[in-house]
Structure 1
Amino acid sequence: MTDRSSPGDTRQSPLRALPAHPNLDHLRKEAKRRLKDLRQSAPGALLAEAQRDVARDYGFTSWRRLVALLRPIAANTPELPYDWGWDLARVTAEAQARGDDAAVESAYRALIARKPPGVAELEANFALFLLNRPDGGVEARAIFRRLLRTPTATILAHYASFAQAAGMVDLEGREEIYRRAVAMGDNLLAAHHYAAFLWHERGIRTEALRLARIAAEGEAAHPLTQAIYQGIYATMAWRNGDAVTAETWFRLARTRSKSDVYATLAFAHMLTTTGQASEGLKLAAEVTSHPRLPDLGPLMAGWFSAVVNFLLYAHGDVAQQTAALLALDAAPIPAQAASDILDLWRTVEAATANGHQAPRRLVALAQRLTGQRTPSGG
C-alpha cells in the first residue's frame, strides 16, 4: 500500500469513496448531518469541525481542498488550452497506423506554420517526433536549443524525455531536468511528467503518487486538462491497491469532463473488479460510443473496444457474454502497450472468483489483449 506519510503529502487515509455524481449540495448536506451527530455528544461543535471530518473521510486534509475540486467551471470554458490538440491527435494516430510518418511530419509542419497559441509546446512534441525520423535529429536538437533560450517548466518537462532519447543525458540526468522543471514553480504539467517518470522508469511509487496528487489537486484552467490529471492519479492509486482513493478521483475527474476516454475505460475496469459491475459495464458501453475514441487511431480504438467486450464477457449477463465473445472472436486483437493502463488480470481474478463458467477462456483473452502469458505483477 501507499506510504501516506511522505513529506508534503496532503492526503488522509480515506474511509470511503465519493458517491456517484458528487456535488457541492451533497457535501453540504452531509456536513450538516455530521454536525447534528457531533452536537449530540458535544453541544458546542461547529460546522467547520463537521466539514473537516467529512473531508477527512474522503481522504482530504481540509474542507476547502475538497470543495475546490467540485466548484462548477464556466460552461463556455474550452476543454483544452489549445484547439489544435484533437485534430493533431487524430491525424497522427491515423497516419502512424498506416506507417505514414511523412504525413505526420507534414501535419506538424502545417500546424506550426500557423503559429497557433501554444506553439512552443507543439514544437517540443514535434522535436521528439523528428528524433525518430531519418536525418531528423539535427533539426530536433535545433528546435530545443531555441526553445531553451527562454526555458519554462513546461518546456523543461518535454525536454527531459527528449534529452534522454537523444542520448544527451542518462536516466539520472533526465530526472534532474524534471526536478528543475518542478522547482520553477506551480506547473501541473511538470509535476505530472515527473510523476509518470518516477512510476514507470524508477518504480518509486510513493513519490510518484505525491506528485500526481499535486497535479490532480491543481486548479487547471481547462476542465479536460484537470480531468486527465485526476484520471491518471486515480489509475495510479488503483494500480497501487488503493481502490477507495481511486474511486473518489475517478468520480472527481468525471465532474470536470467526460471527454477522457482513457479514464472512462480505466474507471469502468476498476468498478467491474471491485463489486460494482453494473455501473462499470454502463461506463464500458460509454467507451464504445465515445466521440473521442476515433482520435486514438484505428489500432488503439480497436483495442479499447476489445477491452470493453472483454469486460462484458467477464461480468455481463448471458446475452452480453455471447455477443461480446462473438465480437472478440471475429476481430484481430493486437496486444497494445496501453495494456499497462489496466491490469486485465484483475478482471480474470474477479470474474473467476464470481464463478465465471469459462475461466480458461478469460485467461486466453487476457493473454491476447496484454501480450503477457501470465500476470506481470502490476
Structure 2
Amino acid sequence: MSLDKDIRDQLVATIRRFVDERLIPAESTVAESDAMPGALVDAMRELGLFGLSIAEEYGGLGLTMEEEALVILELGRAAPAFRSMIATNVGIGSQGIALDGTPEQKARYLPRLASGSLIGSFALTEPEVGSDAGSVRTSARKDGEHYVLNGTKRFITNAPVAGLFTVMARTDPAQKGARGVSAFAVEAGIPGLSIGKPEHKMGQQGAHVADVVFQDCRIPASALIGGVEGMGFKTAMKVLDKGRLHIAAACTGLAERIIDDMVDYATGRQQFGRPISEFQLLQAMFADSHAEAYAARSMVLDAARRRDAGEDVSVEAASAKMFASEMVGRVADRNVQVHGGNGYIRDYRAEQLFRDARLFRIYEGTTQIQQGIIAREMIRRRAG
C-alpha cells in the first residue's frame, strides 16, 4: 500500500537531509579508509533504510517501487558505497525470501534483514560465470536431511559483513541451464563456508566485495528457499526488474549530485577575468547533463509506476538501467573536464565520483545484456 503523500514527502526530505549533512561530508573519509563508519551504519538502520522493500508485518517500510525509487534518488546522491551497504538487504538478499520463502524462512530472517541487524548478500557470480548466470557450477548435493555445497562465488557484495547469503547452486547436474539451479538461505559462520580477502577496486571504496567459498559445506535441507528445487532462477527473475530500477535510480541520483558539483565549481572558478560558467562550451556540458539526468529520472519513475500497477516492465527496466548507467558515466566524465586539472586531484572528489560511477555499467546486468533484452523483446513484438 502506498504511503500518504505527505508522509512520503517527509521521508524523502529526511533522506535528503541525511545525505547532505551526514553522508556527503563523510565521503573522503570512507574513500581513504575503505571502511564504513559504524555510526553511519547505525543511523541508516534507524532511518529504516535496510527495510525499504520488506513488508511492514516483518518490520520493514514496505515501500512501493515508486517510493523506493524516490528514496534511492536521494540516497544515490552520496558516494555509491553508502547505498551499497543497504542494497543487498533491499534487493535479492531479502526479496527472494520475501517472495518465495517458506513461512518459517520469512519469520526467521525478514525481521532481522529489515532492521539491519542481519546483513544479506546475494551469491550468484562465479569465476567462470558472469553474464551467463544460468551456467552456475556451484553444486548442492542432497545428502539425507542436508545439502552439501561446493564451489566458489566471486565479487560478492557485502560478503565480509554478511550474516546471510542467498546462494544459487546447481541441485540437478543433469539439467543444463537455469532449470537445474536452486536458491538457498545460508547463514554465515557454518563449517565449510569461508570468505576471501576483500578485493581492491577501482572505486566505491567502503563497499566490500570478496569471494565466498564452499568446501563440503553442509546446510540443512530447510535452507532451500521455498522448499522446492529448481526454482532459484525463477525467484531471481521476479526481482530483476526491481533491482534494475533501483540501480537506475541510484545512477540518476548520483548524476544529479555531480551536476550540482559541476555548476557550483564552474560558477566559482575564474579564467580570463570571468567565471568559467559563462563559457558556452561548458554551458553545453551543463545542458546535456541536465537533459540526460532528467530523461533518466522520468524513465525510472514511469517504469516504477507501471510496475506498481502490475505491468510487465522488463523492457522498461532494462532501458532505464542501460540509459541511466551510461548517462552517469558521461556526466561524471564531463565533471572532471569542467574541473580541469583539479578534476584529476583527489581533494575535489570529481575523480572519485568518476571512478565510482564506472561500475554501474557492469553490475545488475551489463549494458550489453540490457541491449540484448530490449532487442529480443522488440523482435518478439514485431513477430506478433
TM-score, normalised with respect to structure 1:
0.27
Larger relative contact order, structure 1 or 2 (CA cutoff 8 Å, min sep 6): 2
Give the number of the structure whose residues are more often strand, by fraction.
Answer: 2
TM-score, normalised with respect to structure 2:
0.27
